[in-house]
Structure 1
Amino acid sequence: MQLKWQKTFAIIFSGQIFSILTSSMVQFSVIWHLTQTTGSASVLMIAGLAGFLPQAILGPFIGVWLDRWNRKLTMIIADSAIAFFSLILGLYFFFGEPSLAFVYVILMIRSAASAFHAPAFQAAIPLMAPEDQLTRVAGWQQMVYSFSSVIGPALGIAVYSATSLGAVLFLDVAGALIANVMLLFVKIHQPKPEAAQAPSFFKEFKLGWNAFIKVKPIVVITIATAIFSIGFMPLATLFPFMTLSHFGRGGYSASLIEAIFGIGMIAGGVLLSVVASKWKDITYMCLSLAMIGLTCVLSGVISKEAFVLFVIVSFFMGAAAPFFNGPYMAMIQRAFEPSMLGRVISLVTSVMMLSSPIGLALAGPIVDKYGVQVWFFWSGIVIILTSAVIFALFQRMRVELPEVSEG
């Protein structure tokens, strides 16, 4: 039995790594293209908003449909839609330079499709893996994402420099096709609906919301994630800008930082999969936030001549990330019934996505006026304080719901 579920995830992740890898190539290449051609933090923030806002707006409602629909088929259709609009944007770049407005529109459409794909995947995991292995599976998933974030920027900048952004987008289409083919070889059981009565969208939405707010530890962590996202999510867009504006370096140095961050995430994901049951999930999460906050503060005070130190700091920042993301999702997957997971996961994802545009909207003008290091420094302070508050709150709540926070 154990070998069977492990084989299922091996097939899924072997396909997803191609899709995630090519998406990572596209993400970095688009950001670098906008950084190089506009030199404006505000343009980057608008692009970030285009990538986050549709997921944030659609997320709370998508969960109802995810719990009705076949989750494997939803993943395949969503990935195919992302690939189709990558193809359209790639053709525009192949024949000329599209307007910024057109790029923003395509990013928004891709984001809307992603709003279906990611929650469907997360909601499907407990249907395939034993409950006591969910944190370990989360570690594996983090390794897949981390590997892609290591190789993706380097490959993206190489293909972009040698050919064009259009060629990178065409590769994203191929990655999605491979992922979908691999999904065809696995079986994902659908959870049974709550009742046989005629479906009511708003009633099902309310059931998901009520289930979510009853689990106070998850609510607390979700609020903390929103605060964390306001400070940290803009950094994903600002890393190349930091390399260009503060250190005065080019695309390969920017891709190096992305790769080092990803190598750190791989190391963190491996370590999480090994020590997954040693401590409580909340302990890993608080330590993760403290480390991320500290590395952000260090990045905010580093000198222009200390690029090597920035590389080292980026490694530890990346290594800390899986210890928050993995346990957080495992807590959610353990705390709710499979038939409710689509709604709950889409809700918590939306909270993060809604907070990200707030951070992006704040970061653009602040970085343009005061410099990129200011955002790194103060986001680090906020993240450290968030870690301390979460730890204190869970010390008070652990008697109330200890089973949710167990590792």
Structure 2
Amino acid sequence: MRTPWKKAFMLLFSGQIFSILTSSMVQFAIIWHLTQTSQSAVVLTMAGLFGFLPQAILGPFIGVWLDRWNRKKTMIIADSAIAFFSLVLGLYFYLGDPALEFVYLILTVRSIASAFHAPAFQAAIPLIAPEEQLTRVAGWHQMVFSFSSIIGPALGIAVYSAASLGTVLFLDVVGALIANLMLLFVRINQPKAEAQQSSHFIREFKLGWQAFIKVKAIVVITVVSAIFNVGFMPLATLFPYMTMSHFGRGGYSASMIEAVFSIGMILGGLLLGVAASKWKDSTYISWSLIVIGLACLGSGVLSGEAFMLFVLLSFLMGAATPFFNGPYMAMIQRAYEPAMLGRVISLVTSVMLLASPIGLLMAGPLVDRYGIQAWFFWSGLVTLLAGAYLLARLKRLQVEAVNE
């Protein structure tokens, strides 16, 4: 077993813990601030919309540049940009309460920077880890993300309550600086220059699209994931609203839900890292959607007194999530050449993210009219059906591949 790549990931993930932790603090603190000040699902979903839409629109085009540029430098510059605009918003909060439109603007600019950082990170992983370890590495990544996320909401609400949202935003700057410092010590070998350079932007974009559609299983999962994201992604923004409006609880209960969800993700990521080769990636993906769907359905029928049962269902949703995200990304990283990977990952990410604003635009008015539980119930049903369809469809594709 080769060990240098493991050392590289230890450095990379050690820095990312700080960045993800402080970003999680900021994300939860902003959502809770908007929940308290507006008490409107429309405001929350609009915040999510401004956070998702730029990534969804720009992603396919950004992928072309990612395959041209140095991925390590791209990650550093993008993370620095995110930290800078956290600093700007933090200073604004110290000077006075910023207008809602200004918060939306900062969320938009941070989203643009994230559109470069996230796919650059995922496209760099196959340049470090051996192919047979990609699913296991995906499990590790889910663990790092979840470990930071479990502490983030609790620390975010604690700092927000004790100090201010501005203080939370300043901590995000510190987290980005630590992450970038650790990244400087990680060596990431770039694809060959001749494989990633081209004189025509449109031609490179078309090559990325053509490579993507050649792998039928990835196309099927991406389309189904987009449908699933319409219902499920708004829940990430609406979890605190569910805690406050349906169960009548405050910020610490809301942060506990976030923490329990993240604990589930940690344990799920650990289990995936141990059992990565037990089943096919497609099997993990299908059953994760089925479990998530059942948990959402259950949440949609709970009474206002059943908060602890909601805690349990949130844990199950979190535990199932790594079994979708990890194997799906590992399938993509295996299926495409490194020189093409930035374009494919950006394209896939955009397709899924583009579904999120659609869900957010639908969720705001519907939740205000019919209640938060209705959205949990129907999104759970859609997710359950999506998982069942994938389970049947991917088995059929495997049979067809064997017979060809």
TM-score by length of 2: 0.98
Query: Does 2:299 correspond to 1:299?
Result: yes
Distance apart, 1:195 and its partner CA: 5.0
Q: Which residue of 1 aligns with 2:130?
A: 130
Mapped to 1, the partners of 2:234 and 2:44 lie a distance apart of 9
Contact 2:68-2:196 within 8 A present in 1 as well: no
Q: Where in structure 2 are the equivalents of 1:12-27 lying within 5 Å?
A: 12-27=12-27
Residues 194-215 of structure 1: per-residue CA shift (max 9 Å, x gap) = 5597521000000000000011
Distance apart, 1:400 and its partner CA: 4.0
Mapped to 1, the partners of 2:41 and 2:286 lie a distance apart of 30
Distance 1:400 1:125, change over 3 A: farther
Contact 1:217-1:401 within 8 A present in 2 as well: no
Mapped to 2, the partners of 1:368 and 1:195 lie a distance apart of 51
Mapped to 1, the partners of 2:134 and 2:172 lie a distance apart of 29
Query: Does 2:218 correspond to 1:218?
Result: yes
Mapped to 1, the partners of 2:305 and 2:279 lie a distance apart of 39
Q: Which residue of 1 aligns with 2:141?
A: 141
Mapped to 2, the partners of 1:246 and 1:187 lie a distance apart of 49
- Tell me the amino acid that sits aligned with residue 13 of structure 1: F
| Greater alpha carbon shift after TM alignment, 190-199 vs 18-27 | 190-199
Distance apart, 1:193 and its partner CA: 4.1
Query: Does 2:123 correspond to 1:95?
Result: no
Mapped to 2, the partners of 1:105 and 1:29 lie a distance apart of 17
Q: Where in structure 2 are the equivalents of 1:3-152 lying within 5 Å?
A: 3-152=3-152
Q: Which residue of 2 aligns with 1:257?
A: 257
Q: CA RMSD in A?
A: 1.0
Distance apart, 1:399 and its partner CA: 3.2
- Tell me the amino acid that sits aligned with residue 41 of structure 1: A
- For residue 144 of structure 2, give the secondary structure of its aligned residue in structure 1: helix
Contact 2:198-2:204 within 8 A present in 1 as well: no
Mapped to 1, the partners of 2:365 and 2:194 lie a distance apart of 47
Contact 2:268-2:321 within 8 A present in 1 as well: yes
- For residue 398 of structure 1, give the secondary structure of its aligned residue in structure 2: helix
Identity of aligned residues (%): 75
Distance apart, 1:247 and its partner CA: 0.5
Distance 1:15 1:196, change over 3 A: closer
Residues 355-377 of structure 1: per-residue CA shift (max 9 Å, x gap) = 00000000000000000000000
Q: Which residue of 2 aligns with 1:172?
A: 172
Q: Which residue of 1 aligns with 2:366?
A: 366
Mapped to 2, the partners of 1:400 and 1:56 lie a distance apart of 32
Query: Does 2:162 correspond to 1:162?
Result: yes
Contact 2:243-2:254 within 8 A present in 1 as well: yes
Mapped to 2, the partners of 1:208 and 1:337 lie a distance apart of 10
| Greater alpha carbon shift after TM alignment, 308-317 vs 71-80 | 308-317
Q: Give unmatched runs, 5+ long, in structure 2.
A: none
Mapped to 2, the partners of 1:345 and 1:311 lie a distance apart of 33
Residues 157-192 of structure 1: per-residue CA shift (max 9 Å, x gap) = 000000000000000000000000000001101101
Distance apart, 1:396 and its partner CA: 1.1
- For residue 399 of structure 1, give the secondary structure of its aligned residue in structure 2: helix
Mapped to 1, the partners of 2:390 and 2:196 lie a distance apart of 40
Contact 1:288-1:324 within 8 A present in 2 as well: yes
Residues 195-254 of structure 1: per-residue CA shift (max 9 Å, x gap) = 597521000000000000011100000001101110110000000000000001000000
Contact 1:48-1:360 within 8 A present in 2 as well: yes
Residues 324-348 of structure 1: per-residue CA shift (max 9 Å, x gap) = 0000000000000000000000000
- Tell me the amino acid that sits aligned with residue 179 of structure 2: A
Aligned length: 402
Mapped to 2, the partners of 1:145 and 1:216 lie a distance apart of 29
Q: Which residue of 2 aligns with 1:326?
A: 326
TM-score by length of 1: 0.97
Mapped to 2, the partners of 1:334 and 1:360 lie a distance apart of 32
Q: Which residue of 2 aligns with 1:342?
A: 342
Distance 1:323 1:197, change over 3 A: closer
Q: Which residue of 2 aligns with 1:405?
A: none
- Tell me the amino acid that sits aligned with residue 277 of structure 2: S
Mapped to 1, the partners of 2:155 and 2:372 lie a distance apart of 26
Q: Which residue of 1 aligns with 2:384?
A: 384
Residues 18-39 of structure 1: per-residue CA shift (max 9 Å, x gap) = 0000000000000000000000
Mapped to 1, the partners of 2:375 and 2:401 lie a distance apart of 36
Q: Give unmatched runs, 5+ long, in structure 1.
A: 403-407
Residues 56-104 of structure 1: per-residue CA shift (max 9 Å, x gap) = 0100000000000000000000000000000000001112100000000
Contact 2:196-2:339 within 8 A present in 1 as well: no
Contact 1:292-1:380 within 8 A present in 2 as well: yes
